[in-house]
Amino acid sequence: MTTALQLGRKVTTERDDGTIISETFYDERVAAGAVAAIELHNSDLDPITVKELWERYHRYHAKIRMKPDTLRVYERQMAPILQELADVMIDDVGDQAAKYFKRRVRSGEIKGLLPAMRTLSAVMGVAVKWGYIDENPVSLAKLLTAALLGDQSNQSK
């Protein structure tokens, strides 16, 4: 499928799986990246790992939409997440991220943890937009709730 875009006009595209994508583009670089991303995702909606999602996010979203300095911050914040969760399927990332979050908090390794989790949440949000998953399993509210409920259930035993 090839999609032509006019800058400043709303574009609605239907992917092969029936998902509707609608967005307005004001920059040629962003529009070109959006077309590439739509075409990429038409061909592959199979379950993927966090590492594979990050690679697609980096190539088809971040490099196109972010300023270089912002991109470097995202890369730096994702590094420890990828060390820990790279091979986790994105369907399972919520539980694994909650365990990682709790472990880091308990060990006192909290420097940079919240920005890293916000970055992971942003990446997972794009996975929702792209149709890989139905909802973002890594929102900070979910992580904090899981951490607090986990501690309360252990204390009551």
Q: What sign for the dihedral angle of Cα 121, 126, 129, 134?
A: negative
Model pTM greater than 0.85? no
Can you tell me the distance from the alpha carbon of 58 to that of 35, in angstroms, rounded to the nearest whole number? 15
The pLDDT, as a whole number, for residue 156 is 41
Q: What is the mean pLDDT of the chain?
A: 77
Map out the domains of the chain as residue ranges: 1-45, 47-156
Instruction: For residue range 113-140, list pLDDT tens digits in order.
Output: 888 888 999 999 988 888 888 889 887 6
Are the beta carbons of 143 and 101 closer than 8 angstroms?
yes
Six token digits for residue 15: 């992917």
Q: Which whole-number Å values give the CA distances from 13 to 16, 36, 42, 49, in the listed order?
A: 10, 13, 11, 26
Are the beta carbons of 48 and 88 closer than 8 angstroms?
no
Instruction: For residue range 27-57, list pLDDT tens digits in order.
Output: 665 666 666 666 665 556 678 899 999 998 9
The architecture (CATH level 2) of 47-156 comes to: Orthogonal Bundle (1.10)
